[in-house]
Chains A and B, each alone.
Chain A
């Protein structure tokens, strides 16, 4: 019992299983913390998101292996630091201007905004490089370039240089929707099937057309908006 207490409170020396337990508990705490902070933490949407991301990982890692550091404090810190981040993300929705900064327009109507580009310390080579990565190799193709709060540069190309759309070709509109999964790993998704007003016998007949006798033989089957069924064994 004394050893377990040492693992939580920290001691001069710890047995190896103590480090394993500390690593496992902190990793689980991090997973819970990141789930709590939400999708916006993983995608790093604002300055505080990225500072917390790098900070929380390294503090957990350092405390995992430092025998003298208290594990109890480490777990508390992980949740408290996640909480601070969630609070800022919440405030970001309430008062966006108080937490994060807005985007900066670098190219407007095809013209480079010199003042903004100098103010944000983006060199011309940086700008051209970022545009190339977005497949805008010529400045004349670019209508807008916006430096987003996270530092990424989004590029809006001039309509005439983008791929032709159906509207421009005067083609009739097409029905689009997200495909619906009907079978995953051999299991029929009955909820999705019922939602579409279809049943198992319909699915079986469709699968039979593709040469499958049972849904169990199928890894993925999905109904697409064009009415076709995608099947992969």
Chain B
């Protein structure tokens, strides 16, 4: 078995066992890399996120490509790109001009129901692709489209003409209760006291509510949530 210097350094040849140790070491880097992953990179909002997203995985795993690739060079490259991504993100949040230069801007493709030929040409966006993009958002007919925008992540957002939009409660003068985000009350049998307290309830109240549905033991509940309308959802362990 090789010494540590050849496993982590740059050598001509490394045994399979050596590569196994390398894989585990890469696993440790993987942990920290995913802990500090910039959230926006996964969302791929702009081109530089896209580059980061697709490069970083290969970069982290690169000591496994070839025994000549040393951990020192990989770590240096990873840290450099993390810092660079952070700096670019910092700059574009602070400065809109820089954001336009680095991240690009959204390009309107359809406005007022009319296709903007100039913009289509400028974005090198073929008509076929526009039709494909609007099919994917349930607006297969261009006649339904009031506005379409090519976003910086390469997808097209569509605003439908009012006559093709679904009827909303507002149109019918119905005032529905706002449900909001449900709050987690029980997770795998454990009551989340903090969330209960925030809502002004306590454990006894929750147990009482569950008893109304015939659930006697909180431990049997896999998940329970409460939405803004006061509706309790629960799911019990079923064994399956």
- Identify the A interface with B (CB < 8 A): 44, 46-48, 50-56, 58-59, 62-63, 66, 69-70, 72-73, 76-77, 80-81, 84-85, 87-88, 99-101, 104, 109, 118, 120-123, 125-126, 129-130, 132-133, 135, 137, 143-144, 146-147, 149-153, 156, 158-164, 168-169
Residues of B110-169 at the interface with A, using a CB-CB cut-off of 8 Å, are 137, 149, 151-153, 155, 157-159, 166-169
- Cross-chain contact of A129 among B55, B89, B152 (Cβ < 8 A): B152
Across-interface contacts of B5 in A (CB, < 8 A): none
Known: A53-B57, A77-B23, A118-B93. A160 touches B169 (CB 8 A): yes
User: Does B213 reach chain A (CB closer than 8 Å)?
Assistant: no
Across-interface contacts of B55 in A (CB, < 8 A): 54
User: Does B238 reach chain A (CB closer than 8 Å)?
Assistant: no
User: Does B240 reach chain A (CB closer than 8 Å)?
Assistant: no
- Interface size for B (C-beta < 8 A) is 73
- Closest residue to B138 on the A side, CB-wise? A135
User: Does B43 reach chain A (CB closer than 8 Å)?
Assistant: yes
Across-interface contacts of A48 in B (CB, < 8 A): 30-31, 34
User: How many Å lie between the Cα of A222 and that of B232 in the bound state?
Assistant: 34
User: How many Å lie between the Cα of A69 and that of B69 in the bound state?
Assistant: 12
User: Does B206 reach chain A (CB closer than 8 Å)?
Assistant: no
- Identify the B interface with A (CB < 8 A): 14-16, 19-20, 22-24, 26-27, 30-31, 33-35, 37-46, 49, 53-62, 64-66, 86, 89-90, 92-93, 96, 99, 103, 105-106, 137, 149, 151-153, 155, 157-159, 166-172, 174-181
Across-interface contacts of A56 in B (CB, < 8 A): 61
Contact between B23 and A80, CB atoms less than 8 A apart = yes
Known: A62-B65, A163-B168. A54 touches B178 (CB 8 A): no
Across-interface contacts of A130 in B (CB, < 8 A): 43, 45, 151
B177 to chain A, nearest CB (A): 7
- Cross-chain contact of A120 among B39, B61, B169 (Cβ < 8 A): B39
Contact between B176 and A160, CB atoms less than 8 A apart = yes
Contact between A76 and B169, CB atoms less than 8 A apart = no
Contact between A63 and B65, CB atoms less than 8 A apart = yes
Known: A137-B159, A143-B180, A159-B169. A151 touches B54 (CB 8 A): no
A-B pairs with beta carbons under 8 Å apart, 16 shown: A47-B35, A54-B55, A54-B57, A55-B26, A58-B61, A59-B65, A66-B66, A76-B19, A77-B64, A84-B30, A123-B45, A123-B92, A143-B180, A152-B43, A164-B168, A164-B171
User: How many Å lie between the Cα of A56 and that of B127 in the bound state?
Assistant: 36
Contact between A84 and B93, CB atoms less than 8 A apart = no
User: How many Å lie between the Cα of A56 and that of B62 in the bound state?
Assistant: 9
Contact between B99 and A123, CB atoms less than 8 A apart = yes
Contact between B24 and A80, CB atoms less than 8 A apart = yes
Known: A50-B53, A158-B178, A160-B170. A81 touches B27 (CB 8 A): yes
Contact between B43 and A47, CB atoms less than 8 A apart = no
Known: A76-B20, A130-B45. A151 touches B40 (CB 8 A): yes
